[in-house]
Amino acid sequence: MSAAWLPVLPVVAPLLAAPLWLVVRRPQVAWWGSMAVGAVAFAAAAALLVTVLRNGPVDYAFGGWPPPIGIAYRIDLLGAFVLVLVSGVSWVVSWAGGRGVEREVDEPRRALFFSAYLLCLAGLSGMVLTGDLFNLFVFLEISSLSTYVLVAAGRDRRALPASFRYLIMGTVGATFVLIGIGLLYAGTGTLNMADLAARLPEAFDRRAVHTGIVFLIVGIAIKAALFPLHHWLPDAYARAPGVVSAFLAATATKVAIYVFIRVVFFVFGAQATLEALAVQHTLTALAAAAVVFGSWAALRQDDTKRLLAYSSVAQIGYIVLGLMLADVAGLQAGLTHLFNHALMKGALFLALVAVVYHGGGQRLSDLAGLGARMPLTAAVIVIGGLSLIGVPLTAGFVGKWLLVEAAAAKGAWWLIAVVVVGSVFALGYVGRMLEALYFRAPAAQGGAGIAEAPLGLLVPALVLAAANLYFGIDTRLSAGLAGRVAAALGGAG
Amino acid sequence: MSVEYGLTLTLLAFMLLAAWALARSDDLLAAVMLAGIISLASAAVFTVMDAVDVAFTEAAVGAGVATLLSVRALGVLGERRAAGRARVGLPFLVVLVCGGLLLYGTADLPAYGDPAAPAMQHVAPHYLARGGVETGVPNIVTAVLASYRGFDTFGELVVIFTAGLGVLTLLAGSGVSGARSEVDAGDRDIIVRQVVKWLVPFVLLFALYVQFHGDYGPGGGFQAGVIFAAGMVLYALTFGLPRLERVLPPSRLRLLAATGVWLYGGVGVACLLRGGAFLDYAVLAEDAVDGQHLGILLVELGVGLTVFSVMVLIYRAFTRQRHGGVE
Amino acid sequence: MSAVVDGLAWAAIGLGVFVCFSGAFGLLRFPDFYSRLHAAGVTDTLGAGLVLLGLMLQAGWSLAAAKLALILLFAWVSGPTASHVLARAARHDGLEPWTGAEGRRR
Amino acid sequence: MNGVAHAWLIVALMMSGLYIVMASAHLFKKLIGLSVFQVSVFMLYISLGVVEGAAPPIVEPGVDAYSNPLPHVLILTAIVVGIATMALALALLVRIRRAYGTLDEAALAAKDEDA
C-alpha cells in the first residue's frame, strides 16, 4: 500500500463503508463488515505510528492545496499515538457488537447501529488527525451526531432524554468551539493550526484572540466532560447500550482531551495561554474537584454503569491534573493515564455487557453471586477494578504513580493528597462491586439461567483486561511513548 | 455610518424583538414561527453583507426546511404549549458571563466593513486573486467550498447523511404503514391541486438550474438538493405520500443517499488512484483547470443527491409517525 | 436610462412600498382573520408587483429583468393560492367571519 | 463611520438564544432557542468578512473589491450542521414524547424516579 493512502485511510475507510448498511440492511453482514473496516483503520493507524517513529511527522495536504490555503493533516507522534489508541480500542469493542446488540438493540435498528458506529469512529479519527481548526469542528459534529444516535439506539427509554440532554449540551459546546474559531480567525486571518501558532504571538494582545481561546477551551471542556460541565455524561453512559458505553468511555472523552492538548500546547503555546489567561489555576482547581466529586459520587451509586460513569468524571480529572502541571513529567503522566483509562473503562463496560447478556440487571445487587457463575466475566471486573484503584502491576498504577512523582517534583503536595483521596474512594466503589460479586448470595432463585456469557462478548473483554495487566508491567508503549510525546511537547511549549 | 450598516442594525434590532417575543411565548407553534422569522431576517442580513450563497441557504434551510420539519414534528408530538416553570437564576448568570466576555472580545474588532482587518489579509486574498484562475470557477465561494476546502464539504455531506441515518434509526419500526387517510389523500382542493401540478416541474427545473449554475452564481449542490426535495414534499403534501412513494420508494432514496456520499468520496479515491492527494481534482484531466472543473461538478452532484434524498427520507419518516399517544 | 423611465421606476417602487405598508397596517388593525387575510393578500400581489415592476424598469432589457418577471409570476400564483388555503383552513376550523354585529374580536 | 454596534446586537441575540436553551423547561422550546443561538453565531462570522462597498465574491471583469469568501464557506457548512442536528433532535423528541407522554423536563425526571 502506498504511503499516500495511509493518512486518509483511518478516516475515509469508515466514512465510505458506513453508507453500505443503509442499503444492505443485514445486521450480521453489517457487523462483520464493520469489524473488517475497523481492522483496516487500526492497521493504517499502526502503520502511521511506525512511520512517524521512523521518519518524523507526516504532512498531508488535501486537494493538493498547500496549507493554509487548503486543509492539511500534520500527524505527529501525539496524533499517531492517540489514533492507535482510539482505533485499536474501538476495534476490539466492536467485536462485542454482534452479541451486544442482540440483547440491547431492536432488530430494525441493528444494521444502522453499525453505520453510526463507523461514522463515530471516522469522526473521532478525523478530529485526531486534522491540522485545521474548522475541519476539527466538522469532524467533531460527525462524531457527536453519531454518538447521539448510538446512545439512543437501545431499548432503555431513559436513554432518550439522556441522549437529548447530551445533544443540547454537545451542540452548545460545539457552538462555543465555533465562536472560538471565528474570533481566532478574526484576530489572525487563518484556520490552519500550525499557521495560527506562528501568527499568534503578534496577535496575542488582541481581545478577540483572548476571548476566542476561552470559548474554544470551554467548548472542548464540555465535550471532555470536565467538572462542572460533566452533567451529560453519567446518564448518557449509563443508559446507552453497553457496547456504546464501552466505546464512548474509551474514546470520546479521550479525543476531546487530546484536542485540548493540541490546541493549548501546540497552537496557543502553553506559557502564554496558561499564564496570561489564568487557565492553569482554574483548570487545576476544577480537575481536583472532578477527582474528589467524581469519586465520591461513584461511591454513592447503586447502578453499576452510573458508578463507572462517575468514575470516568474522576479519571478525566486525573488526566487534566497531570496536563496542568505543564512540565514534561506531568504531561507524561496525563497522557499515560489517558491511554490506560481507555483500557480500563473499555474492559469494565464490556464486562457489564456480558453480565446483562443472560438477563442480569445493572444494579449492584444484580452482581451478587456472579463470581461463581460467571468466573471469567468476574475476573475481568476484578482486573479492571484493581486497575481503576491503581494497584501495582495494573495499568492504572502506572499513570497515577507518574502523576504523584510529577507532583512531588514540583512540590505540589496537596495534589498528591487529592490523588490519595480519589484512590481511597475508588477502593470503596470498586470494593462494593467486588463484594457483591464474591461475598453476596444471589438475591433469589430466579436467576437460574445466568451463566457465563458467549465467547463473542468474553473475548474482547478478556483482551482488554489482559491489556490492563500487560501495560501494567511493560510500559514501553504507554508511558514510554507518552514520555517521548511529552518531551516533544515540552520543547514546543 | 453607511446605509448598508444602518440596514443591518435595523434588521438586527428587529430580530432581537422577535427573540424577546420568542422567549416570553408559551405557544410552541408561535415559537417555531418566530424562529423562522429570525432566520429569514438573518438571510436578509446575509444579503446586505454580500454573502449571497449563505443567504440563499439560510432562507431555504433555516426558514424553510427547519420550519417545515418543526411544524410536522409538532403535529406528531401533539404538544401545544410549554407550560412548565422556567429556571431563571443560573441561566441568567451564565448568559451574563458569556455575553460580557463576548462584548469584551468583540470590542476591539476592526470596524464593520474594514478592508484592512486581519481576516482579510492572509488567506482570503489568495482565494480572490487566484481562485478563479486555479479552479476555473468564478463563484469563489463554490471554488473554496468544493476545492480548496473540499474535505470540509465532504465532512458536511457526511453530517447530513448521519442525520438522515439517525432519524431513520430512531424512528425505525415506529411508523405507520398501509392506508391512512391523512397521509394518503393529500389535499383534495382543486385549486391547490392544479397550482401544484403546474408549479412542481418549475421547482424541479429551478433546482437543476441551481445545481449546475453554482459555478457562476449563488447556488450549488446543497441548495439544489434542498429545493428539489421541497418540490417533492410539495407534491406529497398535495397528492399524498403514496403517490410520491410510487415514484421514489424508500429503498431507492436510501440508495441515492448512499450514492451521493460514495460519489463524493469516490472522486477523492479516484484522485488517489491517479497519483494525487485525496480530492486533488487537478489529476483528473490532462489540464489541471479542466480536472478542477470536472471534480467540482461531480462532488456538487454528490452533495445534491444526498441532500435531496436525505431531506425526503426525513420528511417521510416524520409524516409516517402516529400522532400523539404514549407507548 | 432616460429620466422618464427612471422616474416611472421610482414611482412604482414608492407606490409598492406604500401598498405594502398599508397591507401591514391592515394586518394589525383589521377586526378579524378574514379581513386581515385580505390586507395581507394586497401586500403579496399589488405591493410586491409594483416593487418588482419598478426594479424591472431599473434593470432594463436584461437577464435580471427576465428573472424578476419570473419571480413576479411566481408570486402572483403562489400568493393567492396561499391566501385561499389559509381561508379554507380557517373556515374548516369553524371560524365565522366578523359581521360587525358582536363588536371587535381577535 | 461604522463601528462594532452590529457585534453588540449579535451578541445580545446570541445570548437570548442561549438563555432560552437553558431556561426553558420544555424540550422543544430548548431546541428552538438553540437554533436562534446558532443563527446569531452565523451572523457574527459573516460580519467578519464584509468589505465596505465591495461586491459578493463572484469574480467579474471590472470589479476589483470583493467581500471575504472564507466565512461564507464556513457558515454554509455550519448551516448544514445546524439543520442536521435539528432533524435528529426532533426525532428524539418524537420518541421521548411517545415513551413518556410529556416533554416537560421536571415531569420527565419525575417519571423515571418511580420507574
The structural domain count of chain C equals: 1
Please indicate whether, in this complex, the C-beta atoms of C81 and B198 are within 8 angstroms of each other: no
Among A134, A171, A182, beta carbon nearest to D85: A171
d(CA B300, CA B37): 29
Decide: B313 and B257 in contact? Cβ < 8 Å: yes
Closest approach of B35 to chain D, Cα-based (Å): 7
Among D27, D84, D92, beta carbon nearest to A152: D92
**Which residues 6+ apart lie within 8 Å of B127 measured at CB?**
A69, B140, B143, B144, B148, D57, D69, D70
Please indicate whether, in this complex, the C-beta atoms of B83 and D2 are within 8 angstroms of each other: no
| pLDDT score at A246 | 93
Please indicate whether, in this complex, the C-beta atoms of D96 and A160 are within 8 angstroms of each other: yes
Partners of B189 on chain C (C-beta within 8 Å) are: 84-85, 88
Please indicate whether, in this complex, the C-beta atoms of B191 and C81 are within 8 angstroms of each other: yes
b/e code B220-250 from CB counts within 10 Å (16+ = b): bbbbbbbbbbbbbbebbbbbbbeebbeebee
Cell output for C48 = 410586491
Partners of C81 on chain B (C-beta within 8 Å) are: 191-192, 195
Q: Do chains B and D touch (3 or more CB pairs under 8 A)?
A: yes
| pLDDT score at B55 | 93
Is pLDDT of A451 > 90? no
What domain range is A340 assigned to? 311-493
List % helix, strand, coil for chain D (3-state, nearest 5): 70, 5, 25
Contact of B168 with chain A, judged by CB distance below 8 Å, is answered with: yes
Span A88-140, pLDDT tens digits: 999 999 998 888 888 888 888 889 999 999 999 999 999 999 999 999 999 99
d(CA C76, CA C80): 7
Closest approach of B162 to chain A, Cα-based (Å): 6
- Region C25-39: mean pLDDT is 87
Closest approach of B166 to chain A, Cα-based (Å): 5
Please indicate whether, in this complex, the C-beta atoms of D44 and A158 are within 8 angstroms of each other: no
| pLDDT score at D1 | 54
Q: Which class for B175: exposed (0-12), middle (13-18), buried (19 or more C-beta within 10 A)?
A: middle
Nearest to B19 by CA among D10, D26, D31, D13: D13
Please indicate whether, in this complex, the C-beta atoms of B159 and D84 are within 8 angstroms of each other: yes
- Region A22-28: mean pLDDT is 89
Q: Which class for A57: exposed (0-12), middle (13-18), buried (19 or more C-beta within 10 A)?
A: middle
pLDDT band at A85 (very low <50, low <70, confident <90, very high): very high
Please indicate whether, in this complex, the C-beta atoms of A182 and D48 are within 8 angstroms of each other: yes
- Region A272-291: mean pLDDT is 83
Do you know the residue count of chain B? 327
Cis, peptide link before residue B91, omega less than 30° from 0: no
Partners of A185 on chain D (C-beta within 8 Å) are: 48, 70-71
Q: Do chains C and B touch (3 or more CB pairs under 8 A)?
A: yes
Cell output for A298 = 461513584
Please indicate whether, in this complex, the C-beta atoms of B191 and C78 are within 8 angstroms of each other: no
Q: Do chains D and C touch (3 or more CB pairs under 8 A)?
A: no
Please indicate whether, in this complex, the C-beta atoms of D66 and B9 are within 8 angstroms of each other: no
Partners of B137 on chain A (C-beta within 8 Å) are: none
Please indicate whether, in this complex, the C-beta atoms of B195 and C78 are within 8 angstroms of each other: yes
| pLDDT score at A1 | 46
Query: Which residues of chain B, if any, have pLDDT below 50?
Result: 179
| pLDDT score at A362 | 83
Q: According to the 3-state scheme, what is the secondary structure of D82-108?
A: HHHHHHHHHHHHHHHHHHHCCCEHHHH
Closest approach of A50 to chain B, Cα-based (Å): 21
Q: Which residue reads 474514546 in cell numbers? A: A251
Q: For chain D, which domains are there? A: 5-52+66-113 (1.10.287.3510)
Backbone angles phi, psi at A430, to 5 degrees: -65, -40
Closest approach of C44 to chain B, Cα-based (Å): 17
Closest approach of B87 to chain D, Cα-based (Å): 5
Please indicate whether, in this complex, the C-beta atoms of D78 and A178 are within 8 angstroms of each other: yes
Contact of C78 with chain B, judged by CB distance below 8 Å, is answered with: yes
d(CA B28, CA B25): 8
**Which residues 6+ apart lie within 8 Å of D24 measured at CB?**
B82, B84, B86, D30, D33
d(CA B32, CA B28): 6
Longest dimension (CA), chain B: 66
Decide: B21 and B34 in contact? Cβ < 8 Å: yes
Decide: A122 and A21 in contact? Cβ < 8 Å: no
Residue of chain D nearest B111, judged by CA positions: D3
Decide: A188 and A196 in contact? Cβ < 8 Å: yes
Please indicate whether, in this complex, the C-beta atoms of B199 and C88 are within 8 angstroms of each other: no
d(CA A42, CA A196): 30
Residue A35's alpha-carbon distances to A19, A26, A189, B113, in angstroms, are 15, 14, 42, 52
Residue B16's alpha-carbon distances to B42, B71, C26, D29, D32, in angstroms, are 11, 23, 24, 17, 15
Partners of D71 on chain A (C-beta within 8 Å) are: 182, 185
Please indicate whether, in this complex, the C-beta atoms of A108 and B172 are within 8 angstroms of each other: yes
Please indicate whether, in this complex, the C-beta atoms of B159 and A135 are within 8 angstroms of each other: no
What domain range is C65 assigned to? 3-92
Residue C101 lies in a domain: no
List the subunits that have 3+ CB pairs under 8 angstroms with A: B, D
More confident of the two residues A395 and A269: A395
Contact of C81 with chain B, judged by CB distance below 8 Å, is answered with: yes
Closest approach of C84 to chain B, Cα-based (Å): 8
Partners of C88 on chain B (C-beta within 8 Å) are: 189
To the nearest 10°, the Cα dihedral for B199, B203, B206, B208? -130
| pLDDT score at A224 | 92
Residue of chain D nearest B28, judged by CA positions: D29
Residue A220 lies in a domain: no
Span A232-272, pLDDT tens digits: 999 999 999 999 999 999 999 999 999 999 988 888 776 66
Contact of B315 with chain D, judged by CB distance below 8 Å, is answered with: no
Contact of B164 with chain D, judged by CB distance below 8 Å, is answered with: yes
Residues of A with CB under 8 A from a CB of D: 134, 137-138, 141, 145, 148-149, 152, 157-158, 160-161, 163-164, 167-168, 171-172, 174-175, 178-179, 182, 185-186, 191
Closest approach of B268 to chain A, Cα-based (Å): 8
Among D34, D38, D108, beta carbon nearest to A168: D34
Cell output for D74 = 464556513
Q: Which residues make beta-bridge pairs with A192?
A: A132
Among A16, A22, A189, beta carbon nearest to B257: A22
- Region D53-75: mean pLDDT is 86
The structural domain count of chain A equals: 1
Span A57-83, pLDDT tens digits: 899 999 889 888 999 998 989 999 999
Span A30-62, pLDDT tens digits: 999 999 999 999 999 999 999 998 988 899 999
Among A158, A175, A185, beta carbon nearest to D41: A175
Mean pLDDT of all residues in chain C? 85
Partners of A68 on chain B (C-beta within 8 Å) are: 122-123
Contact of B269 with chain D, judged by CB distance below 8 Å, is answered with: no
Contact of C91 with chain B, judged by CB distance below 8 Å, is answered with: no
How many residue contacts between B and C have a Cβ separation below 8 Å? 15
Closest approach of A159 to chain B, Cα-based (Å): 12
Nearest to B203 by CA among B223, B189, B184: B223
Optimal mutation site among D4, D64, D94, D103, interface B, most CBs of chain B within 10 A: D94
Closest approach of A258 to chain D, Cα-based (Å): 23
Decide: A492 and A265 in contact? Cβ < 8 Å: yes
Residue ranges of E strands in A175-225: none
pLDDT band at A279 (very low <50, low <70, confident <90, very high): confident
Closest approach of A18 to chain B, Cα-based (Å): 9
Proportion of chain C above pLDDT 70, given as a percent: 93
d(CA D113, CA D105): 13
Per DSSP, the residues of A402-413 read HHHHHHHHHT-H
Q: What is the ipTM of this complex?
A: 0.93
Mean pLDDT of all residues in chain A? 89
Nearest to A259 by CA among A78, A48, A119, A485: A78
Count CA atoms closer than 13 A to A191's CA, side-chain side.
Answer: 29
Backbone angles phi, psi at B307, to 5 degrees: -60, -45
